Chain A
């Protein structure tokens, strides 16, 4: 069965600093990978997705992620963090058996210091 690991539960960065959130997946074939962001009391918003092709994926709000098959990783990055980026970030993998089921990691809570 597929699984996703986000090793960092909490991360604190200063505004303007760079950010990298880690994600490792377990999947038997070419994965469909996603990063979502959740603000307090809200649903999830898609930041970016990887299906195939270019391993560096650009998303909304200045985020990007790089798919590395050899490391089973899909880390999320942003060159300069803004205070409004404080939220919880979830990495997810699409279902092996078809359909739209997503398997999520446990999430990384990002705090931004001003």
Chain B
């Protein structure tokens, strides 16, 4: 398996623009997680899905953030409108059992100017 795939790897956008981050989890994994990583706050769990259903989105910072998982092999994290404070590295991870090993993608480095 190719592991968790994320795209794009780097995204530079202007404040106010819509940003869409994409993730393909490992086949057979029922859990998908979106994280945000910054120097100040470390790894923050934004939202997670089980069998394509959002289970807990309490980590989503604002209504500007939304996530979807239309099928078992694809998820998106959307920020609309983007702000400079959204600049961070966003990771997608998947797992076949909740609470055990999570496999992380390479991340998307987002810069909002």
- A and B held together in a complex: no
Interface of A toward B, CB cutoff 8 Å: none
